A and B are shown apart, each in its own frame.
Chain A
Amino acid sequence: EVVLTQSPATLSLSPGERATLSCRASQSVRSYFAWYQQKPGQAPRLLIYDASTRATGIPARFSGSGSGTDFTLTISGLEPEDFAVYYCQQRNNWPITFGQGTRLEIK
């Protein structure tokens, strides 16, 4: 199966700063890649699919890039509600796999 490795495990930033989250795949997943946000006690929320397409209703401060094995989620100008856990996911190969998550916390 495709292993997704997210870095860093924890990211400490202040509101207004720019966040850069990474995910590396153990083999190419082309652009069949997504990012999710999860807050405590809530279901995940789709942010980005197909590596760079924002899902419906997602603010423009969220952007995704990459293809093949290296992907990045960028949040430009952190808002207080952005502090959460972020997961990457690939759908190029069965079984579908998720990364282990990056916790974005307030500094």
Chain B
Amino acid sequence: EVQLLESGGGLVQPGGSLRLSCAASGFTFSAYAMSWVRQAPGKGLEWVSLISISGTNTYYGDFVKGRFTISRDNSKNTVYLQMNSLRAEDTAVYYCAKDLGDPHPSHDYWGQGTLVTVSS
């Protein structure tokens, strides 16, 4: 059974940093690209970032503007999202998602999400 378990969310002040983690199991992690997608409270889905199977290729939403970094550790079956210079508008549930291929960013499995709140 495919499982994606996010962690690392919480309350952070504007300008602060957080590192999200997503531990994957139930599939060959090193064979799939992985993505992060977020959803602000009461709003729609917004794609954040994607990383290729080797980690060589990374892609970001326009709003990231160099503030976030996605990475992965295939030995630990884990993908990360380092978020710096956080703003109030980054407040959202952040989902980790498995992609159908590499890259094939249609997301067939999702985690339960981790809430990031940016507030003073």
Contacts and interface: CB of A to CB of B under 8 A. Distances in A.
Describe B's contact surface by its main secondary structure. strand
A87 B111 contact: no
B11 interface: no
Interface residues of B, number: 22
Interface in A25-78: 34, 36, 38, 43-46, 49-50, 55-56
User: Which residue, A36, A43, A46, A99, has most C-beta atoms of chain B within 10 A?
Assistant: A43
B63 to A, nearest CB: 9
B59 interface: yes
B105 A46 contact: no
Interface residues of A, number: 23
A95 B106 contact: no
B50 interface: yes
Contacts of B44: 87, 98-101
A1 B62 contact: yes
Contacts of A50: 106
Nearest to B59: A94
A44 B45 contact: yes
Given A43-B95, A46-B106, A95-B59, A87 B112 contact: no
Contacts of A95: 47, 59-62
A87 B60 CA distance: 20
A100 B45 CA distance: 7
Interface of B: 35, 37, 44-47, 50, 59-62, 95, 100, 104-108, 110-113
28 contacts: A1-B62, A34-B106, A36-B45, A38-B45, A43-B95, A43-B111, A44-B37, A44-B110, A45-B110, A46-B108, A49-B100, A50-B106, A55-B108, A89-B47, A89-B106, A91-B104, A91-B105, A91-B106, A95-B59, A95-B62, A96-B47, A96-B50, A96-B61, A96-B105, A97-B47, A98-B45, A98-B47, A100-B44
Interface of A: 1, 34, 36, 38, 43-46, 49-50, 55-56, 87, 89, 91, 94-101
